Every structure is written in C-alpha cells, then in structure tokens.
Structure 1
Amino acid sequence: MMPDAPFHADLAEGPAGARAYWQTTEDNLRVRVAHYPGPDAAQGTVLLFPGRTEYVEKYGRVAGEFADLGYHTLTIDWRGQGLADRMHRDPRAGHVNLFQDYQFDVTAMLAAADELGLPRPFYLLGHSMGGCIGLRALIEGLPVDAAAFTGPMWGIRMAAALRPAAWALGWGSIRMGIGHVYAPSTGPASYVATVAFEKNLLTRDRDGWEYMQRQVNDIPELQLGGPSMRWLHEALNECLTLARLPAPKMPAIAFVGSDERIVDVPRIAARMASWPGGQIETIEGGRHEVLMEDALTRGRILTRIADVFASAEAQPETARSTA
C-alpha cells in the first residue's frame, strides 16, 4: 500500500476525492504521484507528464475537465521538483544526473497506476519537459494507446550563435565538477513567484497566472529555480538523440502557442510531420503553457485531445504498437 503524501486540494481546484501518494523509484528516490478521479464508467486514464518546475497540484483544473470528458488523471512530481526528493543540496536548483533517470520515475508512476487499479486504456499527455520524457517513454514501450503534447521540449529555443556555447559550457561544467551550478542568466528564484504577469512567457491569461502564483506562494516548497548546467547539457543531448529516432506508431497530437518562446517550434513541427498520423495545431496568441490559458482555450484543447484518444479505439492493436 502506497503511503499518503501531502496534497493541497484547495489550491489544485480539481475533482473531489483527489489524493497524493509517495512512491519509491528503482534507484531509491521518493516521488509524489497524484490521482484525480474520473467517472465510474471511465474511458481510461490520462498519464499526465508535467514540465520542468511543475508539480501535481498545477493540473487540478485540467484533471477536472478530463473527468468531465470521462477520464481519470494520474500525474507526478518528477525527481528534483515539487515535493519529490531534490537532487542537490540546493533545493532550488533544477538538477538531474542523467535524463534517462526520469524513466525510473515513469516506472514508479505506472506501478502506482496498477496499485490503484486505474482504468485502462492509458493515454499520455506530456507538457514541455514532460513531452521529452514522454517521447522517450513511448519509444521504450510506454503502454498507452495515444499521446498528446503541449509545448513539448523536443528542442530548446536559443539563438543559433549561443547553441555551441551552451553545449561547451554544459560539457565543461560536468568535467570540472560544477555541473550543479545554475545555467547562465538563471538562479534560485522561482519564475512564477517573481515575474510580473505583464512580462511572463507562459500565459496571456491573468487568471491562469494567478492560479499558478497562488500555488507556489502558498506552498514555497513547490518553488524551483533555474536549471543546472548538467540539466541543460542532459536536456540538449536528449533532444538531439530523440530527434534521430523514429516516431511511435500511435495517434498523436501536439499543440503550440503562436507566441511560443521557450521550446523549439521547428523541432516540434518536424517531429509531428514524421509521426504516422500525427497532427499539430497552433493556438493563436498562446504562449508556452496553452493549458494555462483561458478556460475556453483550455476546454477546446482538451476536447481535441479526447477526440484523438477516442480515435485510438478504432485502430487495430498492431497499429498502436511502438516502432
């Protein structure tokens, strides 16, 4: 039986009865998973992979709309963020040893889904870094019937002239034993807690911004600062590696905002163009976190995702297997 973990239902604003649990990974780290219940006669369970800096309460509203559409939702605090074990003595540093280590967390999440007896089929929704972790998991056989992504981190947006320097700094910092230091221009401050709404790159919706701010201000332990040099190096390497691998054979859709300034949109377009039956939609005026835009926009995106999930039911089993 999984032990209960803290969960802030009032801040999540999700469906009634949501609970969080501790899970221990194969490499002996503690991560937090949260189950947002759906209807009794559910159409399946969404495995929601959050982005960097995120945590389970952030997707309460999304889980509520998935419940209305007929799905349970299971989400996670990745290692190094939320209330999961942090990876460095500086708890604000967004750090990981190897990007592949996130797959230990995926395995723990699947074990939690089984222990809770969550209804199948499973579906994937990955946001930003969660889209990167999710694509790797799909390639390695994640048992889902369809996938959706919002602002997936399949490349990090930066000026072309800076990319060689980013690679060199990341590589050098690891070999010098300083891979834990913050990447240039970042530090321990939480972006959501400190940036004014008018200057943020995440959402144009003030209510969505204030929703996120309430969470990290009321529970400061949820705050995370900038990425470490090692995280940056690992992320760049994983994005490059994944770009060279074929897309899984299953229904999939990706959404990007027309005002996306954090991840590499051409990489997303190239991936979806090569994905058998893959679709990509642009959210006009949307920023990086299209599910934190206004309720109308969020509802339209989730309805489209549910349509793609439902389309998987009509496909033969062989068409849903990974490449």
Structure 2
Amino acid sequence: MTHTAAPLFTDINPGPEDGAAWWVNADDGVRLRVGVWGRKAQKGTVLLFPGRTEYVEKYAPAAGELAARGFATLAVDWRGQGLADRLADDPLLGHVVNFPDYQKDVGAVLRLAHALDLPKPWNLVAHSMGGCIGLRALIEGLPVNAAAFTGPMWGIRVSPPIIPVAWTLAHVMPMLGLGNQCPPGTNRKPYVATEPFADNTLTTDPEMFEMMRKQVTTHEALALGGPSYVWLREALTECARLAAMASPKLPCVTFLGDNERIVLTDRIHERMARWPGGRLEMVPGGEHEVMMETPQTRHNVFDDMATLFGG
C-alpha cells in the first residue's frame, strides 16, 4: 500500500521517542492519519481505536504505558477528525456519511500494519466510539487475539423522556436538509477547550485534562466540536444493529467508570454478560476516559490489558 510521512505533534506529552505518523487512504479515497510507537516491541502490537473527537496524539501517554509493558501501539485519526479529511463544510462539526464507512478506515489501518510489519500478535484496545467501530470489526473478523474496551459506545446516553425526540430529530433533520447542524446540548466548540475541569465528564485527573486542553488549543487543527444530526442518526442506528448481534468468541475485558455519563451503561452490562470469556471491570470513581484517569487507575488498567494480551 502507499503510505507517506505525516506530522506528529510531540510538544505535549509526546510518548515513546520512536513515534511516527503516516498518511494512508481508505478505499473510498478519504485520507487518514495513523500514528505508531514501539515498532520493535517484543510482545505484539495494540491496535488502538480512539473515540469521537479524538486524535493520535491523545494516546501518546497510553503508548508509553503499553511500551513499558512490551507492546507497540498503532492509533488512527478516523475520517472526519484529527488530521484526517474532514467531511463537513464546517471542520469543527463531527460528521460521517454512513457509520459503516469507518470499517473502510479499519481496512486502511490493517494494510498499514501489514506494510510496516508490526509485531504480532495483534490485540485491540477501543475507546468510546472506537468501541462501536471495534465491535463491528471484531464481528467481521478483525485479526486480533484479544480485545479491551474502555467506556465503549454500544449505546448513547440520552435521558429516557427525550429518547423518542432524539430518534425523531436524528432522522427528520437530515431529511429537511439540516443534517449538518448540531443536536441540542452540543455545539461546535471542543469540550475540553470550553468546559472547566470541575465536574467534567472525562477524567478526575487534572493533569490529563490539561493535556487534552493544551493539545487542542495549541494545535487547533486537531480540534472538533459536537456531532451532526447525520452522525447521531448513523450512530444510533449502528448501536441498535450491534445490540442484536452475538458477541465474538475471543478473550475480552471492558473497563467502565462507575461515574460514566457519556455512553449508555446498560448496554455495556448487557453485552459483557453474554460475551463468552468476557469480563467487565468497574473502575471506582472513574469517568469516561479510564486510560486518562489518575496514575494508579491507569497503572491498574494497563497492567490488566497486558495480562490479557499475554504480557
């Protein structure tokens, strides 16, 4: 496959020194960016699937944790975010045309992993929206030995009284030509750039919150705001489809903060209760970003992942 050097910002929490990034193209021509750390690792490679609004650099500290445990890390800027091609006229709007298009990005990731001959075995770590993309990829045969999820988006948290309204708006607004607007309760500004640390929904660690804020304010090309109505329609539909599917038969652990306020926790409990060989680990006091929680929590989470992956 064709891959060329891409920028990797290393001025804020850079991660392992051997980090590098490449441009790759999905089958439909959308340009993505992929970052890799630890190509000489001895215990295999983690394919890290980020969440919505995220970008490669956010996972440099995670790559450092995994490198310390013997693993290489590959992370991707999904279409519509990070330095990948943006899909809406407003670059701060989170947008995708069809949710299955993310599987084209997965294909491009796998081609690069093969081209770089990344150490095997390969394993999956998937966060939030990446957990939705990752579950679909596993069901369709992603070549990994085991999977770890953190706050996976297997359902979107919506207050019960407004669930019918959310579904209706997500389907009607695109039909009215308003699919590229933000749903109520969201806006085009990045969450970490506008919200205070106090009572944020991402992490209880102030240093990690500040890292995220600095990354998107220093490198504004990484910033992304709320989703479009089209993205919401597509995400709700994909979550509903996946809920009806059986869990794949491979070792799995899912980490869930007990103060999770972004994804639908009932779907996570239901999924893990019927995952053959699967295990749900609750993170006391944890918010959505358990890989960016307090140092002791991060230590425990990455140790658990390394054990699952055979580290």
Aligned letter for 1:22?
W
Q: Match for residue 20 of structure 1? A: 21
Aligned with 2:269: secondary structure?
Answer: helix
How big is the shift at 1:184?
1.2
1:69 corresponds to: 69
The amino acid that maps onto 1:96 is V
Match of 2:7 in 1: 6
Larger helix proportion of the pair: 1
Q: 1:109 aligns to what?
A: 109
The 5 A counterparts of 1:15-164 are 15-37=16-38, 40=40, 42-164=42-164
In structure 2, distance between residues paired with 1:17 and 1:67: 11
Structure 1 residue 187 displacement after superposition: 1.4
Out of 148-157 and 302-311, give the one that drifted further. 302-311
**What secondary structure sits across from 1:103 in the alignment?**
helix
Shift of 1:158: 1.2
Asked if 1:243 corresponds to 2:243, the answer is: yes
State how far apart, in whole Å, the 1-side matches of 2:3 and 2:277 are.
Answer: 38
SS at match of 1:11: coil
Query: How far has the Cα of 1:10 moved from its partner?
Result: 2.3
Retained in 2: the 8 A contact 1:12–1:59? no
Tell me how large the CA RMSD over aligned residues is: 1.1
Deviations 1:31-84 (A, max 9, x none): 00000115x351110000000000000011110110111100001000000000
How many pairs align?
Answer: 310
- Give the Å deviation of 1:12: 3.9
Letter in 2 for 1:194: T
Verify the 8 A CA contact 1:46 1:71 in the aligned structure 2.
Answer: yes
Question: 2:64 aligns to what SS in structure 1?
Answer: helix
Q: Which position in structure 2 is the counterpart of 1:270?
A: 270
Amino acid at match of 1:203: T
AA partner of residue 21 (structure 1): W
CA distance in 2, matches of 1:174, 1:196: 32
8 Å CA contact retained: 1:5, 1:32: yes
CA contact (8 A) 2:155 2:267 kept: yes
Using the size of structure 1 for normalisation, the TM-score is 0.94
Task: Measure, in 2, the Cα distance between the counterparts of 1:309 and 1:20.
Answer: 24
Give yes or no for the alignment of 1:178 onto 2:141.
no
What residue is the counterpart of 1:190 in the other structure?
Answer: 190
Letter in 1 for 2:193: A
Q: Give the C-alpha shift of residue 207 in structure 1.
A: 0.7
**One-letter amino acid of the counterpart of residue 299, structure 1:** H
Runs of 4+ with deviation above 6 angstroms: none
Give unpaired runs (5+ residues) of structure 1: 312-323
Go from structure 1 to structure 2 and tell me whether the alpha carbon gap of 1:75 and 1:41 turns closer, same or farther (over 3 Å shift).
closer
Q: How many angstroms apart in 2 are the aligned matches of 1:152 and 1:51?
A: 9
Distance 1:111 1:171 in 2: 34
Hey, what does 2:231 align to over in structure 1? Answer: 231
Tell me the alpha carbon deviations over residues 104-144 of structure 1, each in whole angstroms, 9 at most, x when there is no partner.
10000111101111011110000000000000000011000
Identity of aligned residues (%): 52
3-state DSSP class of the match of 2:54? coil
Q: Give yes or no for contact 1:14–1:63 (8 Å, CA) kept in 2.
A: yes
Question: Equivalents in 1 of 2:305, 2:199: separation in Å?
Answer: 29
Q: Is the 8 A contact 2:260 2:286 kept in 1?
A: yes
The amino acid across from 1:192 in the alignment is V
AA partner of residue 263 (structure 2) = V
Output the TM-score relative to the length of structure 2.
0.98
For residue 183 of structure 1, report the CA deviation from its aligned partner. 1.2
Structure 2 gap ranges (5+): none
Counterpart CA distance in 2 for 1:37 and 1:195 is: 34
CA contact (8 A) 1:148 1:305 kept: yes
Whether the aligned pair in 1 keeps the contact of 2:41 and 2:72 (CA below 8 Å) is no
Helix, strand or coil for the counterpart of 2:132? helix
SS in structure 2 at match of 1:255 = strand
User: Residues of 1 paired with 2:85 and 2:12: CA distance?
Assistant: 21
